Structure 1
Amino acid sequence: MKKLKKYIFPLLVAGIACVPLTGCTDYLDKAPESELSAEEAFKNFKNFQGFVEELYFCVPNFTTCYWNNSFNWGDDEIIGINETYMMGAKVDNGDFWGWQAQHDGWACGFMDINNFDTGRYADVSWHPTLWKGSWYGIRKANLGLANLDLLTEATKEQKDMIKGQLLFFRGFFHFQLMQYFGGLPYIDEVLGSGKLTLPRLKYQECADKVAEDLRAAADLLPINWDTTSTGAPTRGNNDLRINKIMALGYLGKNLLWAGSPLMNYASDNGRSYNADFCKRAAEAFGELLSLVESGQTQYALVDFKDYKELFLTHAKGGLMPGSTEAIYRNPSPDWNRSNWGQTNDYGSKKITTAGTCYQPTANYVNYYGMANGLPLDDPYSGFDKQHPWKGRDPRFYHDIRFDGCKLELGGNKQADPVRYAPLYTGGALRSPSEGSRTGYLNYKFVRDDFNQWDNQGAGNWGANNHMLIPYMRLADIYLMYAEAACNATGAPAGKSSNCSLSALDAVNVIRDRAGVEHVNAKFTGNLDSFMSELRRERAVELAFEAHRFNDLRRWLLIDKYPYTIKTSQEFTRVGDLTGIEADSSKGVNIKDPSENEVIGFHEEVILTRNFTEKHYWLPLKIDDTSMYVEFGQNPGW
């Protein structure tokens, strides 16, 4: 009799830190053993769902997959000058081999590490990797699909939900690999031990197969498990389970990526957008947004005052971030890994004693325009180099710390040299090895009291900090819809057939949430002008969330100036820093640091990336490309 390993993987849920949503037997009604027959493993929903659960843990937690994880590889971030072993530094040097474990890939833990494990035991967030986890997940999904006929003790709803999850993960894992490596064999059956001959498909051919799986998954899955009889036993704890909205979101994303210039070029169809794929993407996103806008889903944009909780929760018992806006998050039970790892890396070693320092590049900070909606370089924006932080997009003040910002809240005298962010040229926080190389710090995911004096950050178990960046959130859907709709129709006023929003409307929805004025009319007259603002909007709204590298690649911009440079801002303070909160006995008023005046404000290039067309894709593993001739290496590698 065919035997299978028994997998028991109850999902963790938002709102419960490190607590399984049910007991170990909830999804497996047989006493624990090392093996089960196929007939037992797949006979009913509880057993089959126990098999499916492991697929959730094949997805790497890119935020905290390793002790310290580099995941922003575009023009958005630069790493401390001594951290040359991190993947971001390797990418800067053109070393795309660095994602692989045999090339020191441990410093890019979510892509590939040697000790792969899907987290069957305590350390769930440590071991899954994109390369190994995706191929493992594809095989497991195919194994489940091949055994669906054994699911005899189940309702139609239960059968649909099992099949929908399996189809979702098969498409999802293929897409995750494709976006980094291009077209691959699409494996839709359980492979035997015979000779491998499956060819690499062109990107769009592969994307069509992904779309078929994700469309079928969307049609089988409910919007919300809580509204189903199958989900009733775990009602209130089903947030992370794959649903119709997740499937529609990835269906649209897969199709938009297939329609993007790089993927169109890889399929021999030119270097522009593919209107047909964009139209199909817009329809998928339009279906999703119509459900959201009509109140039929559990998803909504969070208020801007709660923006931080998209990525970080504090003193809430390890509650998973994301609120109502996060669409796809992978299980993240080990919340304290972010507390000890990522959350202490966004200040500087002089503030948090961090092991690694990640800073926003000045060229990227320039994308944060003005509150009036105009980019900095527009002659009517009102940007003033003597007051370069005044009147900016509200997301600038949320995400970025600049010269004069208060970085320590408790008034500890030992913090005096760095309390008010001395980020001017020559300032105490401008050390290339211990501070900021660029004149800015990233505070999108952390708080101002995450430092060694206020002690609310790394190492403070009582703070219960949980940092997690979602794979997909609703704001991203609005922006992807806008991109798909305008490139499908050739106009900013373009829309899908199933959504009332135009491309322009969708961008303005996101600006409204942030309190930024709408896209100016000067950018709405033609597609090229609108796309320049849409790309800028995407850069700001999704900053540092692991999107930029793939965006620049799919737009065929990663090897083009100015996207190949990383810069710093250099300037001198004028007079006393009016943002300083001095001793009250001295009678000094507290003022907004954005009012501070500087002179000599200019930009300097601190790094240039010498990329060519080979950097459009990551290199595949040599061992894998040596297996058989049809599985060839990416161009240039």
Structure 2
Amino acid sequence: MKTKYISAVVALVLLFSSCEKFLDRPPLTTLDDNVNAWISEDMVRLYANKYYTEFFVGYESGFSGGGSPLIGFTNSDDMVILGNQMNFTRSVPNSSIWSYTTIVSLNIMLDRIEEKMTSILTPEAKAHWTGVGKFFRGFRYATLVQSFGDIPYYDHVVSDLDLDALYKPRDSRNAVMDAVYEDWKFALQNIRLNDGDQNLNRYIAAGFVSRLALYEASWQKYYYKNQDRAKKFYELAEEAGSLVISSGKYDIVTDYKTLFTSKDLKGNKEMILYRTYDATVGVTHSVASAGNLQESTNNGPTSDLMKAYLCTDGYSWENSSEMNANKFDLSNLIKTRDPRFEATFYSKPNPLNKGAMVYITKYLPRDVEKMVKVEGKTLPAEFTGNKNETDAPVLRYAEVLLNWIEAKAELETFGGAALTSDDIDKSINKIRKRPLAQEAIDRGVKQLATLSIDNIPNDPSRDATVSPLLWEIRRERRLEFAFETFRLSDLRRWSKLEYMDNDLNKDLLSGGWVNFSAELPSELVAKNVGVLSVVNVLGQETIYNGTNGAQMNGFYKNTINKPRLPFLNQANVNPYLTPVGLVQIDQYSTRGYLLKQTEGWPQN
């Protein structure tokens, strides 16, 4: 249905509104079960509808952007911010703790299906909706452990009088994720293969399981160093990805930019799940406005990201035989780099992007870009403020392919089957063979060369602790998902937050390549003596002094850009996990219970 989770039916949301607050802390929940609440499958469906906008946020709605691409995920090695770079938490906050509102709601759903609907639902329907509940419950627990590590685990409805349960000690991450593993295995065996357009089905569930299980597997391998548990979750990620791939339902058939700028993604074979926006029903977003070429922004791409794009021959710029591979002006990068570069950035430096001088136009339609910059027309109102109506990819086939190939590559390191050319062809190379837009072809864009399992490039910039194959798989993720929502979580699961250390990587404070005298307004340059600077390929910085304009040709940097504060190897600071607050620790204590602080943070 087109408005499937544009607006959820509110009747049952109101009916169960007593569940909305949890972990203050008690009460866990009280539920006034209406006699008409659990009488049919349609009522279960209505109850489950509310989870769509919570778990499948897309571009969120209005000006809400905390979980949306481009707006909500600006803290990574892909993004430079004008001024001080975003810091990681460096001390225990006054108040911070997990929310179990959704867990409570899902346990209610699973309890009522079992206790009240056995005689109402068919065995198939009961198994399906139980699978839906367990999928979402596992999803929420997985995101909670990603943030906090050890957390309390509840698989049933808890009385608000049971203080021992409400204030129970944190269960180990491993115990929680073992329970999640079982929930997901049940879901992958019992959720329907087809439950109607844009409704959760087994393939959608499997796609998300491939993402979440891959995170847990990587965490176990690189953070906990637990190889057995890593293997268990890599195998689940591979299994879930294989389920989607073997279905034959999905494919890579659309040019890259169209995936993020279409007003109707229905029928697109790469969309395993998408979110529809429609101003006529009052649901719009603001993601496209963040790169509309007329509103200024302080956020832009880092030089580090710009250098990461492969040349069209499949090699990094240092090793490429592509003519002008070592030139980084935008017009050259468009012609010599991975076609996703052209689809992601505007073709000329733009001072309205104060962080990098390069606009991120991944979410702006080509016709709107042309209208504004070529034809000189007024920006359409729907691409201003929170009036955007473009549909949002929620789960793309490309992601499942990259989850799957990474899981298989990691399993090979545990003695699993070696990757084959067929594996690479059905994943990375399928993505690289994505069709090109005619506008891109007209600009000189060419497809990226395919990757050969027998000739993996050895990037001179490669992290020596990462194999050449995994390095290229990780690069593929970085560029495929640039300015979406994955980069910071990927760095965390690989235990590679060091990539965001400005002292270790100076390319994080500069942006795109700019020739000041040829590409920037002279009045802008004149007003910024001692402020604007450029950095050459070797990392040498030149600050504009009013007379050296001819030398100002390099990666743009504003001298007010300052590095994030140190966050690695700091006593009582763990940037990989979130601390709980002092207030919550005290609340436990006053009731006679102990809430242990998150790993790596001080107890008091």
2:307 to 342, 353, 366: 366
**Mapped contact 1:211–1:251 kept (Cα < 8 A):** no
Q: Which residue of 2 aligns with 1:275?
A: 231
User: Which residue number in structure 1 is paired with residue 321 of structure 2?
Assistant: 380
1:572 and 2:515 aligned: yes
Choose the corresponding residue for 2:289, options 344, 357, 369. 344
Q: Displacement of 1:49 after TM fit?
A: 2.1
Q: TM-score of the superposition, structure 1-length normalised?
A: 0.68
Tell me by how many angstroms 1:24 deviates.
Answer: 7.5
Work out the CA distance in 2 between the residues paired with 1:290 and 1:439.
43
Distance of aligned partners of 1:330 and 1:13 in 2 relative to their CA distance in 1, 3 Å threshold = same
Shift of 1:219: 1.2
Q: How much does 1:139 deviate?
A: 0.8
AA at the equivalent of 1:216? F
1:155 is aligned to 122
C-alpha change, 1:617 and 1:36, in structure 2 (3 Å) is closer
- Deviation for aligned residue 1:310: 2.2
Counterpart of 1:546 in 2: which secondary structure?
coil
| Residues 1:464 and 1:61: Cα distance change in structure 2 (over 3 Å) | same
Identity %: 22
Asked if the contact 2:90–2:567 (Cα under 8 Å) also holds between the matched residues in 1, the reply is no
Please tell me the residue identity of whatever aligns with 2:580. Answer: L
Map 1:243-392 to 2 at 5 A.
Answer: 243-260=201-218, 262-264=219-221, 266-267=223-224, 269=226, 274-291=230-247, 295=248, 297=249, 299-304=250-255, 307-314=256-263, 319=264, 323-329=268-274, 341-347=286-292, 351-354=293-296, 356-382=297-323, 383-385=325-327, 388-389=332-333, 390-392=335-337
- The Cα of 1:361 is off from its aligned counterpart by 1.7
Q: What SS is found at the alignment partner of 2:140?
A: helix
Aligned counterpart, 2:413: 490
Q: Shift of the alpha carbon at 1:47?
A: 2.1
Amino acid in structure 2 at the alignment position of 1:221 = I
Q: Secondary structure at the match of 2:80?
A: strand
2:355 corresponds, among 397, 416, 437, to: 437
Give the direction of change, closer, same or farther, for the CA distance of 1:458–1:490 in structure 2 (3 Å limit).
Answer: farther
Indicate the residue corresponding to 2:74 in structure 1: 72
The answer to whether residue 361 in structure 2 is matched with residue 399 in structure 1 is no
Tell me if structure 2 keeps the 8 A contact 1:567–1:603.
yes
Distance in 2 (CA, whole Å) between partners of 1:436 and 1:461 is 19
Indicate if the aligned counterparts of 1:142 and 1:190 stay in contact, CA closer than 8 A. yes
Structure 1 distance, partners of 2:62, 2:386, is 21
Kindly indicate whether residue 170 of structure 2 is the aligned counterpart of residue 219 of structure 1: no
| CA spacing shift, 1:19–1:538, aligned 2, 3 Å | closer
Cα distance in 1 for residues equivalent to 2:595 and 2:95 = 23
Q: Which amino acid is 2:142 matched to?
A: F
2:87 corresponds in structure 1 to 93
Secondary structure of the 1:353 match is coil
Structure 2, gaps ≥5 residues long: 16-30, 66-71, 436-446, 459-464, 521-550
**Contact 1:42–1:48 (CA<8 Å) still a contact in 2?**
yes
Q: Which amino acid aligns with 1:620?
A: V
Aligned-partner Cα distance in 2 for 1:101–1:308:
43
Shift of 1:531: 1.0
Offset at residue 379 of structure 1 (A)? 4.5
CA–CA distance in structure 2, aligned partners of residues 42 and 566 of structure 1: 56
Name the CA shift for 1:146/1:493 in 2 (closer, same or farther; >3 Å): closer
What's 1:144 paired with? 109
Q: Which amino acid aligns with 1:12?
A: T
Distance 1:80 1:336, change over 3 A: farther
Residue aligned with 1:513, SS: coil
Q: What is the distance in 2 between the residues matched to 1:24 and 1:366?
A: 52
Aligned residue among 152, 170, 173 for 1:200: 170
What amino acid maps onto 2:477 in structure 1? R
Distance 1:570 1:524 in 2: 25
Q: Is the 8 A contact 1:327 1:474 kept in 2?
A: yes
Query: Residue 74 of structure 2 contacts residue 299 of structure 2 at CA under 8 Å; is this kept in 1?
Result: no
Distance change (3 Å), C-alpha of 1:184 and 1:324: farther
Q: CA deviation at 1:373?
A: 1.6
Change (3 A) 1:328 1:80: farther
- Hey, what does 1:408 align to over in structure 2? none
Task: For 2:434 and 2:101, locate their aligned partners in 1 and report how far apart those are by CA, in whole Å.
Answer: 40
Residue 42 of structure 1 deviates from its aligned partner by 1.3
Pairing 1:556-571 to 2, within 5 Å after superposition? 556-560=495-499, 565-571=508-514
Which is bigger in relative contact order (C-alpha 8 A, separation at least 6)? 2
**Counterpart Cα distance in 2 of 1:457 and 1:494:** 53
| 1:608 equivalent in structure 2 | 563
Give the distance between the partners of 1:11 and 1:251, measured in 2 at CA: 25
Shift of 1:471: 4.0
Q: CA deviation at 1:157?
A: 2.9
Contact conserved, 1:335 with 1:467, CA < 8 A, in 2? Answer: no
Structure 1 residues 367, 386: closer, same or farther in 2, change over 3 A? closer
Q: Give the CA deviation at 1:441.
A: 1.3
Deviations 1:487-511 (A, max 9, x none): 1013999469xx9952565222211
TM-score normalized with structure 2 length: 0.71
Aligned residue-pair number: 502
Aligned residues of 1:225 and 1:243 also touching (Cα < 8 A): yes
Residues 313 and 455 of structure 1, relative CA distance in 2, 3 Å threshold: farther
Where do 5+ consecutive residues of structure 1 fail to align?
1-9, 29-34, 104-111, 113-130, 227-237, 404-422, 424-428, 578-597
Aligned to 1:547: 486
Whole-angstrom distance in 1 between the partners of 2:203 and 2:105: 23
Partner SS for 1:608: coil
Indicate how the Cα distance of structure 1 residues 171 and 441 shifts in structure 2: closer, same or farther if over 3 A, else same.
same
C-alpha RMSD of matched pairs (Å): 4.2
Residues of 2 paired with 1:11 and 1:141: CA distance? 25
Change (3 A) 1:172 1:277: closer
